[in-house]
Every structure is written in structure tokens, then in C-alpha cells.
Structure 1
Amino acid sequence: MSEITGSLSTLALQKFKQDFWGVFSFWFIVLVGFVSVFAYVLAPDNSQHANQMHLSIHSKKPGFKVQMLSIPSSIAQDQSVIDRLFFGKKNPASEIPISAYRITGNKLLYTEYASDGLEGAEKELDLNNYQNFNKATFIKEQTFIFGTDKYGRDLLSRILVGARISFFIGFVAVFISLVIGIFMGSVAGYFGGKIDAFIMWIINVTWSIPTLLLVIAITLALGKGFWQVFIAVGLTMWVEVARVVRGQIISVKEMQYVTAARALGFNDFRIITKHILPNIMAPVIVISAANFAAAILIESGLSFLGIGAQPPMASWGAMIKDHYNYIILGKPYLALIPGFCIMSLVMAFMLIGNALRDALDVKSA
């Protein structure tokens, strides 16, 4: 019989590596995280919130191509490289879809793009205002890989930028839920008695309120906005963490290593943080992965209802809200693409949660 060597964390890591879907989900989440951080580097439309509107080419199918005239902004750029890299350009070039153009002297004559067989308006641009005019930089053929939304914005860019909200809300909400949940659960489980009864009363009251209704109430109290949604979702998810931590502490607080710590004169804070919590974190890690998925779904639901991330901020839930009626108008991809993104990210967190549960199960090691 082979001897099992290594710490429990090493054994858990080895078991996790053997789970194909767990490893696949991990790298998928890493990829989404990379896209979220560098969205404006990867997105074809690097304006803030990918909000370049072209109403003449609204609701175009994936793969749509058009010539785009880019007119540099006359407003001075006072943006740092870091700000532009992570938050997009504040003053992007004005983009005009065109169907034809010609250069006559110092003037650029162009015909604006018009769909449905209509003839676009003819306009001219005085090239004397642009000393470094170069046709190759002013006029380019642009391909919209995912097509355009109902406002003529690049759908791919909106998807990439919208990944930020869905991805980071998981981190913020789970962090808030862990801080509150671990504290409340630790106090209730360790001290017991009236303190436990009081905290459990708070937990039960919070638990009895529908999650979405509680999030809506907190959001309305804090106001509509980006960070308000993050905080609201986090404040509704701590009860599950608290119940798990409380139950785990109740089951281990009378074990020998805790009794030995008390006999050595360690205070309650050190016993909880240094001796008990490190030994009960496995189920907390698993429930955190599930809370990631729940936070993404709640934020998408709030954005769909119009009380989540506010326009022009890109959000997958808001994109579904804007285009769900296009499902019966022959352009279902406008709603299905962001819906598939939500489903994929939620599924990845659920799969990695299942893999962590199996890997951290010491009984099967």
C-alpha cells in the first residue's frame, strides 16, 4: 500500500488538477478576468463604455462590414495612458459610416451610409483643418464581428466591456459577504447563548426576505449606480456564509486543539482566527464559488429591471433588456449573445465550486 505524503492542501490541489471541468473552468475564469481588466485594449471601440453610436447601421448582423470615416476630436486630449488603458478614451474620434467618397482638391466628399436601399446624404469635409490628413487613417473598412446593437454600437466591444461588471461584482459581493458572514457566524458559533440566539434571529429575518426584493430596497436606499449595486448584492449574501461558519465552529470548538489553546491562555480572538477558522475554510471556499455565480445572476437581473448599472455603462443584463424583443423580430443574437456570456460565466463558477468541494473532501482523499 502506497504511503500518502504531503499536506492536505497539496492533496486537495492534486485532486483538483485531476478534475477536467474544474481546471477548464478555472482557466476560463482567468480568461474572463483578463478580458475584464484589459477590455479597452481588446475592444474595437475603445471609447468609454464602448458607446460610439451609429444609428444608420443599427441592428446589423454579425460580420457586417462598412467603410468608416474617422474624424479626430477637436478637444484636447488630457488623459493619461493608464486612464485610457483601463477606462477608455474620453474624447474618441467621431466615426461616420459612409458608402462612397472622393477627394477633390482640399475637400473630402462623402456619402453617408443608409440602409434599406436608401440614398445617404452627401457631405464634405474641409481637409485644410487637418494638416496630417492620410486617407489610410481617416477611412478604414470596419468589421463588426458580433454585429451592432439597436443604437449602432459595436456589440463585441459592449460584450467585452460589460464583462467587467459581471466579473468584478462577484469579487466585491463575495468579499463583503465573507467579511460580514465570517464575523457574525464566528461570534454566534463560538460564544453561543443569547448572542447566538440574537444573531440567528437577524439571520432568519434577513433570510426570510426575498433576495431580489432586499437588493432592490438597498439599491433604492443607496441610489442607482455602479458601486451601489455591488454593495447591495454583497449585503444580501452574507447569511449563507454566517450559517455555514456558525455550524462549523459549533462542531469544532470543543475539539482537543481548541481546548489546548484555551489551556495555554490564548484569548478568544486568537483561538477563532488562528486555530478554528483555518480548519473550517473548506466549506466556506465552496460556498463562495456558488456566491460568485449568484452575484452575477442577481446583478444581471437588476440591470434587466433597470436598477443596476446605468446607461451608457455596458452590462450584460442591460443588453438583454434592450434587445429581448428582437428575439421575435428575426435578430435573436442581440439578446442571446449576452445571455450566453452570463450562462457561461455562471456555469464556470458552479463547476469550479463542485470541483473544489470534491477536492477539499478529506474523507475521500
Structure 2
Amino acid sequence: MSHKSSSLKQLALQKFKKNFWGVFSFCFIILVGIISVFAYAFAPDNSQYANQMHLAIHSKKPGFKVQMLTIPTQLESTQSGFDKLFFGNTNADTEIPITKYNIQGNTLTYKEYASDGLEGVEKSMSLNAFSNKTIQNVIKEKNFLFGTDKYGRDLLSRVLVGARISFFIGFVAVFISLIVGIFMGSIAGYFGGKMDAFIMWIINVTWSIPTLLLVIAITLALGKGFWQVFIAVGLTMWVEVARVVRGQIISAKEMQYVTAAKALGFNNFRIITKHILPNIMAPVIVISAANFAAAILIESGLSFLGIGAQPPMASWGAMIKDHYNYIILGKPYLAIIPGLCIMSLVMAFMLIGNALRDALDVKG
């Protein structure tokens, strides 16, 4: 039996490897996952939430370059290297965009950057503030590959840090939906009768409520926040899993191996978890991939409506909300870039779902 199971797994893996778009999507998802975990290591702006603002250079086009004066913070940092790597630098240095500078003795004179043909303010400061750093270390040309948003923040850094929310909400939401859905679907399908009717009534009531409306209601009940959105999305996606599991168990419990397990005196919990569920997980895996994509879209919609991830937290949906007006103001990239990120990640999960469906299809 184990040899047959192993052979089926190998056959499914071979079929999956032959699917170009499935393998490509898998690699893309792994890449986004690595970027999400180590976002602050890749982001040019490693401040917490990539929230270093430069209002003088707001809404600049991709590839914009400017000289940046970095003034070291005078506060002592108690952050560990681990904390900085995964949660950003909470005590970042101050950055000032400048157009030119001059050094006379121990005094640095610089002119702040001003756009739209305006003249920047000229200021002076002592070189002692730079803690024996050379001028080459404190004044560098900074390149904004994706440009800057309406607050002058590095758009590339915001996109990289924002990937964390869109990526991890899929994992949390699917995890919650699998736990609740498999539990409810297993009870309804295996025991049937009044238990099945009651659970199906809950499923139908939950399904009749529009998903976004239900998420909004749960979010308002739990409060606005990072984890509240994750839980809210997960609690609205379990019904699909429950219906699939219920239908599969109804057909599987009539199989001979289930009858044999009952004859051997195994309890219901063992029969469901050890015998039935391992044999019906193929469609559950496929629907989980689709739920990943749905969770990303729902979170983006919530952030667009202002009840998802809250500022200054970076989120692709919130970035579109902040800049959708710029589409008609000649700077559409501010909304298009995060929109393309959402589209590409959702497409990857849909493609890998299709590839898994084909690979796990026994009849194929």
C-alpha cells in the first residue's frame, strides 16, 4: 500500500514537473516568499515599514536620482541585528535631499532640494554631527528605481515590504480555512443526519453573505489591525473547503477500506484522520491554491477601502488607494506598479492551482 502511495506521489510529481507554467509559478512564489521574509535586507530603505519620507522629492518618476545627505541619529539603538533584519530599523538616520553643498572649515553648507523650479533653502551645520564620518559617507547619490510616492518614500522599498502582507495573508487565511473547513466538513460528511443538516445550514448562511461584506463585519468586530485582517479573511474562506471535504467524505466512507477499519474496531477520529482524509486531500490542495489567490485579492480590497493594513504599514492595496488619482495626473506608475505585483502573485497561485489539479488527476 505504501509502495503504491509512493508511486502515485512520484507520478504526480513527474506530471507537475512537465507543466512549464506550474513550475515557473512555483519558482516565482518561492522568490516572492524569500523577498517577503527578508524584505528589509533587499529594500534600499530599511527603516521600519520603509517609511523614510522626503516631501521635497514626492511623486518622482522611476530612475530618479538625487544627492542625499544622511545625518546620523543621536539616539542609542537597542535593536538587535535580528530585529532589524525582520522588522526594519526603528531608529533610522535622517535623510535630506540636496542639490549642492560646500565645506568651509568645520562647517557644512548645503542647499535643500526643491522641485517645480523653486529655490531650496540653504542651511549650515557642524561636521561634528557626523561622528568622524567622511563626507563621501554622508553625502551619496541615491537612485530611486521605482520612483517615489506622494510622500517622497522609496516606492521600490514599499513594494518589497508590502509583499510581506500580501504573501503571508495567504498562508494564515488558508491555514485557518483548512482547520475550520476540514473539521466542519468531516463531521458533516461522516456522521450525516441532523449534524450534517445543521452544519450545512451554517455553511449556506455564511455563503449567502457577500465575502467582502462578511470580512468587513468581522474586521470591525475584531478591530482594525494586521492580525485582525488575517483572521477575518480566514474565517470567510472555510465554507468552500468544508463543502469539498464533506462531499469527498460522503463518497469515501462507503469504500471498503473504511468498512474494514470499522470492523477492526478503530474509533471514528482515527478513521477520519488516518484513513479518509489522506485519500481525499488532492482536491483540498487544489482549492487551497485558489484560496491563496482569493485571500490576496480580499486583503488588497480591504486595504483599498481603508480597513486593512493601517498606515504607515506598507500594503499593495493601500498603495493603490493612495495613488489611484495619479492615474489621470500623468503618473500612473504609482498605482500600476503595486497593481501589477498583485496581479502577478494572484496569477502565479492560479497557475500553480491548475498545475496541481492536472498533476493530482488520477484519471489523467
Q: TM-score range by the shorter chain?
A: over 0.9
Deviation by residue 1:315-341 (Cα, 9 ceiling, x = unmatched)? 000000000000000000000000000
- Give the whole-Å Cα distance in 2 for the aligned partners of 1:23 and 1:270: 35
Q: How does 1:25-40 map to 2 (within 5 A)?
A: 25-40=25-40
- Output the amino acid matched with 1:103: I
Tell me which residue corresponds to 1:61.
61
Distance of aligned partners of 1:294 and 1:131 in 2 relative to their CA distance in 1, 3 Å threshold = closer
Quick check: 125-134 or 173-182, which moved more? 125-134
Tell me which residue corresponds to 2:287.
287
Structure 1 position 133, deviation (Å): 2.5
- Give the whole-Å Cα distance in 2 for the aligned partners of 1:55 and 1:16: 49
Q: Counterpart of 1:52 in 2: which secondary structure?
A: coil
Number of residue-to-residue matches in the alignment: 361
- Give the whole-Å Cα distance in 2 for the aligned partners of 1:339 and 1:312: 19
- Give the whole-Å Cα distance in 1 for the aligned partners of 2:121 and 2:93: 21
Q: Counterpart of 1:362 in 2: which secondary structure?
A: coil
Q: How does 1:160-309 map to 2 (within 5 A)?
A: 160-309=160-309
Q: Which runs of 4+ in 1 moved over 3 A?
A: none
Root-mean-square deviation (Å): 1.0
Q: Counterpart of 2:363 in 1: which secondary structure?
A: helix
- Output the amino acid matched with 1:232: A
8 Å CA contact 2:15–2:359 kept in 1: the answer is yes
- Give the whole-Å Cα distance in 1 for the aligned partners of 2:207 and 2:263: 37
- Output the amino acid matched with 1:176: I
Deviation by residue 1:282-308 (Cα, 9 ceiling, x = unmatched)? 000000000000000000000000000
- Output the amino acid matched with 2:133: F
Q: Counterpart of 2:290 in 1: which secondary structure?
A: helix
- Give the whole-Å Cα distance in 2 for the aligned partners of 1:129 and 1:72: 7
- Output the amino acid matched with 1:257: Y
Q: Counterpart of 1:31 in 2: which secondary structure?
A: helix
Deviation by residue 1:73-127 (Cα, 9 ceiling, x = unmatched)? 1111100010000000010010000000011111110000001111100001111
Tell me which residue corresponds to 1:348.
348
Tell me which residue corresponds to 1:158.
158
Structure 1 position 130, deviation (Å): 3.2
Q: Counterpart of 1:124 in 2: which secondary structure?
A: strand
8 Å CA contact 2:72–2:129 kept in 1: the answer is no
Structure 1 position 72, deviation (Å): 0.5
Distance of aligned partners of 1:87 and 1:5 in 2 relative to their CA distance in 1, 3 Å threshold = closer
Deviation by residue 1:243-288 (Cα, 9 ceiling, x = unmatched)? 0000000001011000000000000000000000000000000000
- Give the whole-Å Cα distance in 2 for the aligned partners of 1:305 and 1:6: 47
8 Å CA contact 2:71–2:129 kept in 1: the answer is no
TM-score by length of 1: 0.98
TM-score by length of 2: 0.98
Tell me which residue corresponds to 2:101.
101
Tell me which residue corresponds to 2:7.
7
Q: How does 1:294-333 map to 2 (within 5 A)?
A: 294-333=294-333
- Output the amino acid matched with 1:102: N
- Output the amino acid matched with 2:186: S
Tell me which residue corresponds to 1:124.
124
Deviation by residue 1:224-258 (Cα, 9 ceiling, x = unmatched)? 00000000000000000000000000001011000
Structure 1 residue 137 corresponds to structure 2 residue 137: yes
- Give the whole-Å Cα distance in 1 for the aligned partners of 2:278 and 2:11: 16
- Give the whole-Å Cα distance in 2 for the aligned partners of 1:5 and 1:89: 49
- Give the whole-Å Cα distance in 2 for the aligned partners of 1:116 and 1:167: 38
- Give the whole-Å Cα distance in 2 for the aligned partners of 1:146 and 1:6: 47
Deviation by residue 1:131-163 (Cα, 9 ceiling, x = unmatched)? 313111100000000000000000000000000
Q: Counterpart of 1:182 in 2: which secondary structure?
A: helix
Gaps of 5+ in 2: none
Structure 1 position 5, deviation (Å): 11
Distance of aligned partners of 1:238 and 1:7 in 2 relative to their CA distance in 1, 3 Å threshold = same
Q: Counterpart of 1:7 in 2: which secondary structure?
A: helix
8 Å CA contact 2:167–2:296 kept in 1: the answer is yes
Distance of aligned partners of 1:297 and 1:116 in 2 relative to their CA distance in 1, 3 Å threshold = same
Q: Counterpart of 2:98 in 1: which secondary structure?
A: strand
Distance of aligned partners of 1:29 and 1:128 in 2 relative to their CA distance in 1, 3 Å threshold = same
- Give the whole-Å Cα distance in 2 for the aligned partners of 1:219 and 1:161: 23
Q: Counterpart of 1:151 in 2: which secondary structure?
A: coil
Q: Counterpart of 1:363 in 2: which secondary structure?
A: coil
Structure 1 position 6, deviation (Å): 5.7
